[in-house]
Amino acid sequence: MDVHAQNTCIICGEHKHEGIHIVSEFICDACEAEMVHTDVQEEKYDFFVHRMKQIWVEKNA
Ligand SMILES: [Zn+2]
């Protein structure tokens, strides 16, 4: 087992070491940075929010 366990980013699906945990989900630093810099008006922001909601709904279903 790797001591430095990697987390699977819920946005890009890649395995990363660095990132943040929101509730029980992991978002890599790259996606987190992109989210922070994404304007609320942009479609991409909706994508992020929608994607996270979907995952949480699925998990709580
Ligand atoms: Zn990511």
**Domain count of the chain?**
1
Q: Which amino acid is located at 47 in the chain?
A: F
Tokens 């989900």 belong to 25
Q: Which amino acid is located at 8 in the chain?
A: T
Phi and psi at 45, nearest 5°, equal -65, -45
Top-confidence residue, 39 or 15: 15
Asked, for residue 41, whether it belongs to a domain, the answer is: yes
Asked, for residue 1, whether it belongs to a domain, the answer is: no
Asked, for residue 19, whether it belongs to a domain, the answer is: yes
Residue ranges making up the domain that contains 20: 7-55
Asked, for residue 40, whether it belongs to a domain, the answer is: yes
Residue 41 pLDDT grade (very low, low, confident, very high; cuts 50, 70, 90): low
Asked, for residue 11, whether it belongs to a domain, the answer is: yes
Instruction: Output the CA 11–ligand 1 centroid distance in Å.
Output: 5
Instruction: Output the CA 18–ligand 1 centroid distance in Å.
Output: 10
Asked, for residue 32, whether it belongs to a domain, the answer is: yes
pLDDT for residue 5: 67
pLDDT for residue 14: 94
User: Ligand 1 being an ion, which residues bring their Cβ within 5 A of it?
Assistant: 9, 11-12, 28, 31
Instruction: Output the CA 20–ligand 1 centroid distance in Å.
Output: 10
Instruction: Output the CA 17–ligand 1 centroid distance in Å.
Output: 10
